[in-house]
Structure 1
Amino acid sequence: MKNNSSIFSAGTRVTRILFLFSFCFLSLYTYAINASKYAQEKTLTVKVQNKTVKEVLDYIEKNSEFIFFYYNKAIDTKRSVSMHVKDKPITTILDRLFEGTDVQYEIKDRQISLKKGSVQQRPQDKKQQKRKLTGKVVDEETNEPLVGVSIVAVEENRGIITGIDGSFSIEVYNNTKLQFSYIGYKKQILLIENQPILNVRMQPDNAMLNEVVVVGYGSQKKGNLTGSISSVKSEDLTVAPIATVSNSLAGRLPGLIATQSSGQPGSNSAALNIRGFGNALVIVDGIEASLDNIDANQIESVSILKDGAASIYGARAGNGVILVTTKRGINQKPIITLNSTFTWQGATSMLKPASAGQRAEMEREKHLQAGLPESSAPFTEEAVQKYYDGTDPLYPNTDWYKVLIRDWAPEQQHNISVRGGSEKIKYYGFFGYLNQQTMIKKNGGKYERFNFQSNVDAKILDNLTLQIDLGYTQEQRDYTTRDMSPGLNNMWQDYWNTLPYYPASLPDPNKVSYAYGAGTGGLHVSSNRELSGYSDTKNEDLRGTASLEYKFKAVKGLSLKIFESYRKVNMFGKTFTKPVQLYTYEPNSDTYTLAGTSGGNKATLSQSVVQESTFTQQYSLNYDNHFKDHHLTAMALLECIDYSSNTLLAGRKDFMTTAIDQMFAGSAVGMTNNGYASEMGRMSVVGRINYSYMDKYLLETILRADASAKFPPGKRWGYFPSVSLGWVISKEKFMSGIDFIDNLKLRLSYGQSGNDGVGNFQYLSGYSYGHAYLFGDESMQGISPTGLANPNLTWEKIKISNVGIDFSFFDRKLYGEMDAFYRERTGIPGNRLASLPSTFGAGLPPENLNSLNDRGFEIKLGTSGQWNELLYDISGNISWSRAKWKYLEEAELTDPDQARIYLKSGKWTDRVFGYVSDGLFTSQEEIMEAPHYEALNGNATLRPGDIRYKDLNDDGIINWKDQTDIGKGTTPHWMYGFNVALAYKGFDLSALFQGAFGYNQLVASNQLSTLLYEERWTSINNNSNALFARLGGSSSNSWQSDFASKKAGYLRLKVASLGYNLPKHLIEKCKLSNVRLYLSGTNLLTFNKLGKYGIDPEAPNVGCYYPQQRTISLGVNVSF
């Protein structure tokens, strides 16, 4: 009953979403139709006296969206004309302009072709013969010939490149369009008529410097940036169909640490850490939002603010900011894009359980090597052999991996978008669907996501614009009742506890086989939603924003902007646990025995409803103006953010039947319920001034003031300034003779931000419910204080300094950026360690006590260009960062060894102390000669196969004083990436290698795997360098040491993609503008030293986990 209603409900939701999208699409398409009427509706006023035809055409292009194509020798553009036409369509103006001449025109939307005689369509049949066109391409400014310019006949998708002297020769039809493109120059499309020679002058393109980069509350030209800001474009994020945006960012941006600790569908995002600071603030289209419920195809660009540039977001930006901008409409006819991908997911690395014979042998070995009697051994030698033989039905050998886990799980991703507009209105619409299945073969769950986005820009008046954005995301996670996230008590622990000594199924299909599973009956039970129940969650994320900008006509460059947004998140959780009876089977007597019950005796149900809302208001005055060589921009902004949350929890148990999974069907006896709500708000005032002189000397200043209700009156406001400077050295006169330098810029910045990451109302005394007390015959509820209040608690302060340099040489044949930074945090909340008497009844409150600092650097280098018909862009980046405690409230230690090991002030924050191993003992003589193990009261319990530790202080004793720094924490200090993008004719190839080092992973041998069986120490191999110590060994084998804590550096082929764009002349017959077929993959190859342990280098250090996934995808992208 549950499944049917769920399917019906899901179908209804999909229908509603499709209906909504269709409605928006039809509305936007109406705009597109209107846009196509531009030529009919646009009117112009032309008043000229004795001007040339060329000057008139230039005037029309400047004051409209029309573009003229013509051949200078065919059209007399030097002819002088006088005319006065007011508010007339383009056809009237052109009729007047060419009155009495043989010039005719053809209008296609905004493109106007001029020629002598009648304008005809270019014949595509065999009646028209190709002819030779020759010419030369030069730099417009220097008149130097350009070598390697790509010349493509647009309709035929074929082309050539220019020679050493810039010359070219190509076979063309008359009325062919040729596209001229070259790195560092503006692309040109020219209409070829009957001229035999064509000389082309190409204009240098400063697009890299003029590229717009999103920054806090606005955007800037990349060439004018003074802060440390890295960005990535949409096309880089969508090279391969990766389900989460966070994983798409890995390895692409210097300073960004991305670690994926799980491959679980719906929970497989990467933790993003900027410069090792911690979790960054994520802003999507101006509001705080989640990064991983967005489809990467919606995104236009992603920027990360790493230094003082993040100060503009104040209290929330102490760890840096990730800015996400979704796509918007453009002024052209509508482009509809369909993208469909089918993917197969498989584990990058996954240990397999030992076979029945191997496990039985290791269980027996472990028992005996622990010094226990053979009479109590779990298996006899005869039984072990029978498990190996596999011929006796009483000694089965079940390969649970093969029974339950699929090597490749399916995934599919589909989306459709429409983008276009006119001068008055622009629009973008998107609908996406993602479905990921889990690795479990039977009823193991899935993750589904629906994305909808609608962005509309409307020009109401010449000086008044309106933006309205709507976004909706629905996520459905259908999981098992056993948790799949990393931990010690989860479904993946059941994977190891499901014993191969039991059969996967029984002769009676209505009975479930018992396989231990540490109380769950086995993974075949806990992973099967139909058997053991389900744990489902549905998240709905609705986002709406409206922005109105008014430009004052009286004051040039002054504008007022009002931005309002509302975000509502609903989370519905439902867990229904069903009891499962488990049986063993005796084939000789054909009898079943009830061995236990999983999930209790009766079904239980728990449900939760969480509602969160965020209301953001921004009011800003903006100024942008040029004064000769001076450019000044300024912003004053008031921001108010209100947060609220409501939670409701309920549960019942003792369900009479598992057929009804509704709350009313459970027993009211022992039912539970709970609920709570919270509110929080922020008010901020932000000011920013940007100044540039000749685009050579750059200045940016920011001041933000934040007020937080978490602090007492008088302590609520925090003030966070920043300043940054830029010097474009390449524009200095003394650099004019150095031709190979395209761009060279020095950047300096200093900024402050804050952190209010403490509990609410710590400055007030609070109480919580305690035990009930009996006074006479009446029970009274007791309360207890939550702790002392601190009326002086205030903001943690964060200061960061950055120096950087950007450069580009040899027409971007070499480009890059380098940054170095230092960050200091002061006033980090902590509790004093002063002891209080137990009768005091409360703990000391948090104070602004502690401080630490971070330092690091980042380097990015790249090259791009063209070799014959091969376009290439190759780049790499590497970054390092590490933090050190400046002061940490801790106990005073006088013993020098205790201070060395345990005190943290003045030391790196992620030091790991332990023993240094020296292989394994291989004989009793080695043990007798070894230093005395103090914790073992001598070496009497040591045996060959145990870990030998080094006596570092040479005192003849192995004890805690021999511990030393054996490694680093689990967060990498070094991150690097290497990206290759190639394009040849219709083919494109890209590969992203990503890696990390400077961190450690644990390689404990807790699970009885095939790897442990093959690589453990035994008396037969007596290998002092075995990967794992003897089974049942000394307790000293579990001491923290470098035997289990290993360096985890790796290099991974994170993304690879091969695509092919079908020729234009084939797809245009189907009215299509582009068709791309592609094959891609993620996590395809991994190179690291942990591979021999069967561990993925990004695996968590805690318990068992859903393995990281490699994917292989086939997809098609169609535009029309």
Structure 2
Amino acid sequence: MKKNYLCLISRYLLILIEKIPNTMKLTFLFLVISLLTFTAEASAQKVSMFFNNVKVEKVLSAITKQTGLSMAYSKQIVNLDRKVSIQVEDADVALVLDKLVTDTNLSYEIKNNKIYLFEKQAITIATVVLQKKQISGTIVDQNGEPIIGANVVEKGSTNGTITDVDGKFVLEVDNNTLLQVSFIGYIELEVPVKGKSSLQLILQEDTQKLDEVVVVGYGVQKKSTLTGAVSSVKSEQLTIAPVGNVTNTLSGKLPGLITKQTSGMPGSDAASLNIRGFGSPLIIVDGVESSLQNLDVNQIENITILKDGAASIYGSRAGNGVVLVTTKRGINQKPTITVNASYTLQGVTNLAKTASSGQLAQMQRETHLQSGQPEATAPFTAEAVAKFFAGDDPAYPSTDWYNVVFRNWAPQNNENISIRGGSEKIKYYGLFGYQNQETMIKKNGGSYTRYNLQSNIDAVVTNRITLSIDLMAIYDKSKFTGRGIGQGEGIIWQDLYITKPWYPASLPDPNKLAYGGIDVGSVALSSDMDVWGYVLTKNRDIRTTATLVYDVPFVDGLTAKAMINYRDWESYSKNFQKPYQFYTYNQAADLYTLAGGMRSAAQLREDVNFNRQLTQQYSLNYDRAFNQTHHITALALFESIDQSGNNFWASRRDFVTPTIEQLFAGSDTGKDNSGSASEMGRMSVIGRVNYSYKDKYLVEAILRADASAKFAKRNRWGYFPSVSVGWTLSKENFMANISMLDLLKVRAGYGSSGYDYNGNFQYLSGYNIGGLYQWDDDLVSCLIPTGMANTILTWEKMHVYNGGVDFSLWDRILYGSVDGFYRVRDGILATRATSVPGTFGAVTPLENINSSNDRGFELSLGTAKDNGEFKYDINVNLSWARAKWDHYEEAEYADPDQKRQKQLSGQWTDRVFGYVSDGLFTSQEEIDALPYSYVGLGGENKTLRPGDVKYKDMNGDNVLDWKDQVEIGKGNTPHWFYGLTGSFSYLNFDLVAMFQGAAGYSTSVSSNNTAQTYELRWTETDNNSDALVPRLGGAASNLWTSDYWMRSVSYLRLKNLALGYTIPRKILEKVNVERLRVYLSATNLFTLSNLSKYNIDPEVPSGFAAKYYPQQRTISLGVNLSF
């Protein structure tokens, strides 16, 4: 059966590989050969140790470290303090275990990557009790694997036994007693035996008693000993529902991480990441500065964010926090092949409806008449408007351009196959992923395609040397209309709302294109690649890493590590624009009239960018515990990063024919090209020491020194220290009697880091080529000085202060953490608020003179319970953050109103000023009675009419001018961010729901010619002072920045919902399948928002309502298969 699966998968891979570029095919071939080679490794497990009179516990620990096999035993059975002497080199682990159990009543079994230690015979300690009976049973784990050596004891007695190698037990017990079943790392069970003779028991893993390891800077650390503000999310939480981009599955899951998805465009739908409102964080993938863009979510093991001094170990560029991404690696087990496949339908979350012919004609008529123009020149008569609304006259059509151009649902496919396994010598993980995402455009709208390849291999070369070879390759391609489908002006979404609905979408002559009333013809033409042309982009990113770890002899706990990563990525774009013409048609005369066209001939531009990055890290790591009391870890690391890049482009116009889409087909006249190159380098030295006393008192100290080629030699090095402490109060004796308390830990820390994004080599003087100089009658090229050499620039620095508490109560019935932080950012680049004479010959140089601060808090609360058949884990997180200017270099303001509005020093960084509205005028008498005049309207109120916005004279000086503006908004970055995740499972069913939301930010809801504009507008008939759109054609003051248009936004979105069912293991065993789960999932199912009345998504890009590719609502059907 497995062979049949492998054959099917091989065929499937070959079909996909046909679509991949040659470089990716070679990479894939390397992966397959490597995996086949390493899968064939022998399963023998070798160890070397030279112990004399040491505790059994130390021998077991050494076996685990060298083989990767975990230990399973009962402390009641195994005497860990017994002294033994074992001296072997490159011997089978079985030989060591034989020596270990010699002269004892112990035996062992190696099974499922575990070593089980148990008594040779299950011994029942008989108790003389009446009404005894024999009870038998089997104890297994959640995966159905037998648990060897589990303790089975009759409650309240010493009568007990342990399970054998098959997880079975037999025991004579009282008829009305309870059995207590326990094993290290599992939740204890109590089971009544009355009326039973046989038991089938499942022990659930106690995840809270297992010491979870968290990825931190340049290593890992036990979660229980963390002293910094660190949050993490695991793979199973990331793969709830298929997503096009990893960033979109992080929303609401990590306290302190602010995400905002402002586009649903295929391939460009990533959410922006912002930690604590600081700005874009540093992204580290498998230890190397990289990009999160275009990773397959299934290749990720976990994601961790470092928010305070914990990030300072990355020094340069880590001032905004760090996102650590760890990909999956091999494990010591038989190969497991996993296939994930899903089919997704995508539709828009929220999009303003286009106006009908009647609605738009009426609005244009009102705009004309209400602006004081005569009826005779109105664009539409009242009769014509009525005919548009009636819809029964072919001469007065109403085209729904959205339905013409866009579909309600667009398909997306996600498939990937991975293999994971290994032995004690070789561990491997490999993944091949494919994604295809189509646009919402019905006709020739294009698509986005991505391929992911991952190969991580860990090999034990000798008993002291480990070699890891990692390969990651990403290739993506997109092809969309050249008009643009992203966001902004001059794109198809703007065309949608300005194309006139009274024009038909097609003409009787299929060879002629229909005019839609706009300069590009219509949205149907600008969105069609066969008409407009296209932009083709291709991106290739290959990352290769070699890591060598050497276990240094004679110094327990000391390892040396060398890591070299080479990243090579390139991008290519081809923008080909075609000529076309469009017509109107007179049905009565059967006459076509040329209405216009775009371009007289085709034109083409091609761009190519090449980038390279070499990262080298060399380190010494020390990790040792002394007497189970003191634990010291230390790191000394040297890192260098070298980057280089070059690009060039070429273009031609006036193509002979649009059917040849190559540069040679363009005219030599007007051809153009250019190119450039860049280089940059950084060097760092890092030191870190961690100390733990009984995991109770914790200290971490870090010092990082960075050198950047962006600065002159005297300012090149920046030094960034940090220190943090922790105290686990729940381990103190005076807390021992508080039975409800599982964990209580307090943390405090300080960290510093740097920032060097200020342009390259500004400390050098130079010249630019490209200026023109008049020489006689000719213009000749010349050199232009770049300005003064700036040798005083240095590092911008961030200083972060953090305090926090972690807690857990009543066996995690309630758990969580609270953090407060304050960050000072100084040395921000700015120019002095002084002017220099024009004869100076250069602009005022930049200096490190501005400073700001951020403050905020984070709260995470959760509850979890495992009742065997039913489990749940619910977590809610809430964060708030805001920034303020400490010093902002600016002119002195003498006028108090100027100072109030314009002075930034000491003020929040995101203030928005504008006028305060008081509804709309409803009568001319109200306007005439105004005690103040609108200065912006020439000092008179003659142009004001009913339906115009009424503003308040805030300072009471009987003049409405800029002095009346007050703070009306808070920028477009949320101050409040919150999320709620609930995961539930019952038997084989699982349900996950994730809510995400934000509040405390502002956006503009300016009017567009949509159906909502028509419904919400002021009309003379209704004369509603609270109408949400003022008089069409009204006074210029209606468009002033004010709280009439500015909205404080808050929303709550059901971001993910997934329901799954796992086929019972007993059924799957018959077809040799390990796991099969089917699921139905959805994203962005609904949103509660105060912008709903405008049909605007709360994550709309600021200023681009109805001018961007909307966020997508998705429904997916998928399968997870392992065998």
**TM-score if structure 1 supplies the norm length?**
0.89
The aligned amino acid for 2:952 is: K
* Greater shift in the superposed pair: 414-423 or 370-379: 370-379
Once the two structures are TM-superposed, the CA of residue 571 in structure 1 deviates from its matched residue by 0.2
> Do the aligned partners of 1:495 and 1:523 also contact (CA within 8 Å) in 2?
yes
Once the two structures are TM-superposed, the CA of residue 621 in structure 1 deviates from its matched residue by 1.4
Deviations 1:893-943 (A, max 9, x none): 111111111111100000111111111111111111223222222221111
Mapped to 2, the partners of 1:1000 and 1:63 lie a distance apart of 57
Q: In the alignment, which residue of structure 2 is the partner of 1:585? A: 585
Mapped to 1, the partners of 2:402 and 2:1110 lie a distance apart of 13
Mapped to 1, the partners of 2:303 and 2:256 lie a distance apart of 14
Superposed, which structure 2 residues align to 1:237-636 within 5 Å?
Answer: 237-517=238-518, 519-598=519-598, 600-628=599-627, 629-636=629-636
| SS of equivalent residue, structure 1 residue 186 | coil
The aligned amino acid for 2:365 is: R
Q: In the alignment, which residue of structure 2 is the partner of 1:1115? A: 1118
Deviations 1:330-355 (A, max 9, x none): 00111110000111111110011111
* Greater shift in the superposed pair: 326-335 or 932-941: 932-941
Q: In the alignment, which residue of structure 2 is the partner of 1:126? A: none
| Structure 2 CA distance for partners of 1:1043 and 1:182, relative to 1, 3 Å | farther
Superposed, which structure 2 residues align to 1:185-224 within 5 Å?
Answer: 185-186=185-186, 207=208, 210-224=211-225
Once the two structures are TM-superposed, the CA of residue 997 in structure 1 deviates from its matched residue by 0.4
| Structure 2 CA distance for partners of 1:261 and 1:944, relative to 1, 3 Å | same
| Structure 2 CA distance for partners of 1:921 and 1:733, relative to 1, 3 Å | same
The aligned amino acid for 1:253 is: L
The aligned amino acid for 2:1121 is: V
Mapped to 2, the partners of 1:458 and 1:750 lie a distance apart of 39
| SS of equivalent residue, structure 2 residue 1053 | strand
Decide which of 10, 28, 36 is 1:21's aligned counterpart: 28
Mapped to 2, the partners of 1:269 and 1:714 lie a distance apart of 40
| Structure 2 CA distance for partners of 1:306 and 1:630, relative to 1, 3 Å | same
Q: In the alignment, which residue of structure 2 is the partner of 1:994? A: 996
1:977 lines up with 2:976 in the alignment? no
Deviations 1:807-848 (A, max 9, x none): 111111111111111111111110123122334332111011
| SS of equivalent residue, structure 1 residue 403 | helix
> Do the aligned partners of 2:682 and 2:706 also contact (CA within 8 Å) in 1?
yes
Mapped to 1, the partners of 2:1064 and 2:621 lie a distance apart of 47
> Do the aligned partners of 1:488 and 1:1102 also contact (CA within 8 Å) in 2?
no
Once the two structures are TM-superposed, the CA of residue 960 in structure 1 deviates from its matched residue by 1.2
Once the two structures are TM-superposed, the CA of residue 586 in structure 1 deviates from its matched residue by 1.1
Deviations 1:359-387 (A, max 9, x none): 11111111110111222211122222232
| SS of equivalent residue, structure 2 residue 575 | strand
Mapped to 1, the partners of 2:264 and 2:471 lie a distance apart of 30
Q: In the alignment, which residue of structure 2 is the partner of 1:949? A: 951
> Do the aligned partners of 2:312 and 2:721 also contact (CA within 8 Å) in 1?
yes
Once the two structures are TM-superposed, the CA of residue 627 in structure 1 deviates from its matched residue by 2.1
Q: In the alignment, which residue of structure 1 is the partner of 2:130? A: none
Mapped to 2, the partners of 1:505 and 1:944 lie a distance apart of 41
| Structure 2 CA distance for partners of 1:568 and 1:196, relative to 1, 3 Å | same
Superposed, which structure 2 residues align to 1:702-1101 within 5 Å?
Answer: 702-769=702-769, 771-777=771-777, 779-867=779-867, 869-930=869-930, 931-936=932-937, 937-1005=939-1007, 1007-1101=1008-1102
Mapped to 2, the partners of 1:56 and 1:790 lie a distance apart of 62
| Structure 2 CA distance for partners of 1:291 and 1:86, relative to 1, 3 Å | closer
Deviations 1:566-600 (A, max 9, x none): 001110010000011111111112121111112x1
| Structure 2 CA distance for partners of 1:183 and 1:782, relative to 1, 3 Å | farther
The aligned amino acid for 1:1118 is: L
> Do the aligned partners of 2:827 and 2:848 also contact (CA within 8 Å) in 1?
yes
Count of aligned residue pairs for this structure pair = 1069
Mapped to 2, the partners of 1:814 and 1:777 lie a distance apart of 84
Mapped to 2, the partners of 1:438 and 1:1016 lie a distance apart of 33
Once the two structures are TM-superposed, the CA of residue 429 in structure 1 deviates from its matched residue by 0.1
* Greater shift in the superposed pair: 826-835 or 762-771: 762-771
> Do the aligned partners of 1:48 and 1:82 also contact (CA within 8 Å) in 2?
yes
Once the two structures are TM-superposed, the CA of residue 744 in structure 1 deviates from its matched residue by 1.0
| Structure 2 CA distance for partners of 1:9 and 1:627, relative to 1, 3 Å | closer
* Greater shift in the superposed pair: 600-609 or 937-946: 937-946
Percent of aligned pairs with the same amino acid: 53
| SS of equivalent residue, structure 1 residue 749 | strand
| Structure 2 CA distance for partners of 1:265 and 1:696, relative to 1, 3 Å | same
The aligned amino acid for 2:1093 is: K
**TM-score if structure 2 supplies the norm length?**
0.88
Deviations 1:311-343 (A, max 9, x none): 111111011110000000000111110000111
The aligned amino acid for 1:980 is: G
> Do the aligned partners of 2:142 and 2:205 also contact (CA within 8 Å) in 1?
no
Once the two structures are TM-superposed, the CA of residue 956 in structure 1 deviates from its matched residue by 2.2
| Structure 2 CA distance for partners of 1:588 and 1:83, relative to 1, 3 Å | closer
Q: In the alignment, which residue of structure 1 is the partner of 2:193? A: none
The aligned amino acid for 2:935 is: E
| SS of equivalent residue, structure 1 residue 812 | coil
| Structure 2 CA distance for partners of 1:780 and 1:314, relative to 1, 3 Å | same
| Structure 2 CA distance for partners of 1:114 and 1:1036, relative to 1, 3 Å | closer
* Greater shift in the superposed pair: 61-70 or 846-855: 61-70
Mapped to 2, the partners of 1:773 and 1:337 lie a distance apart of 66
Once the two structures are TM-superposed, the CA of residue 27 in structure 1 deviates from its matched residue by 3.6
User: Which structure 1 residue ranges, 5 or more long, are not aligned?
Assistant: 1-6, 76-80, 119-130, 138-149
Deviations 1:518-562 (A, max 9, x none): x21111111111111100110100000001111111211112111
Once the two structures are TM-superposed, the CA of residue 212 in structure 1 deviates from its matched residue by 1.1
> Do the aligned partners of 2:623 and 2:633 also contact (CA within 8 Å) in 1?
yes
| Structure 2 CA distance for partners of 1:97 and 1:525, relative to 1, 3 Å | closer
Once the two structures are TM-superposed, the CA of residue 787 in structure 1 deviates from its matched residue by 2.9
| Structure 2 CA distance for partners of 1:107 and 1:382, relative to 1, 3 Å | same
Decide which of 135, 145, 154 is 2:144's aligned counterpart: 154
Once the two structures are TM-superposed, the CA of residue 114 in structure 1 deviates from its matched residue by 11
| SS of equivalent residue, structure 1 residue 1084 | coil
Mapped to 1, the partners of 2:85 and 2:243 lie a distance apart of 60
Once the two structures are TM-superposed, the CA of residue 210 in structure 1 deviates from its matched residue by 2.0
Mapped to 1, the partners of 2:46 and 2:242 lie a distance apart of 42
The aligned amino acid for 1:252 is: K
> Do the aligned partners of 1:184 and 1:811 also contact (CA within 8 Å) in 2?
no
Deviations 1:854-902 (A, max 9, x none): 1111010111112462101011010111000111111211111111111
Deviations 1:31-88 (A, max 9, x none): 33435x44xx769999999x99x9999999999777899999999xxxxx99999998
Mapped to 2, the partners of 1:530 and 1:369 lie a distance apart of 42
> Do the aligned partners of 2:146 and 2:167 also contact (CA within 8 Å) in 1?
no
* Greater shift in the superposed pair: 833-842 or 778-787: 778-787
The aligned amino acid for 1:605 is: L
| Structure 2 CA distance for partners of 1:1063 and 1:135, relative to 1, 3 Å | closer
* Greater shift in the superposed pair: 393-402 or 886-895: 393-402
Mapped to 1, the partners of 2:898 and 2:261 lie a distance apart of 35
Deviations 1:751-789 (A, max 9, x none): 111111111122233333464233335543344333333
Mapped to 1, the partners of 2:1122 and 2:539 lie a distance apart of 31
Deviations 1:146-179 (A, max 9, x none): xxxx98793899xxxx999899xxxx99967799
| Structure 2 CA distance for partners of 1:63 and 1:226, relative to 1, 3 Å | closer
> Do the aligned partners of 1:136 and 1:166 also contact (CA within 8 Å) in 2?
no
Deviations 1:294-313 (A, max 9, x none): 01100001111111111111
Mapped to 1, the partners of 2:208 and 2:649 lie a distance apart of 55
Mapped to 2, the partners of 1:115 and 1:806 lie a distance apart of 37
> Do the aligned partners of 1:152 and 1:180 also contact (CA within 8 Å) in 2?
no
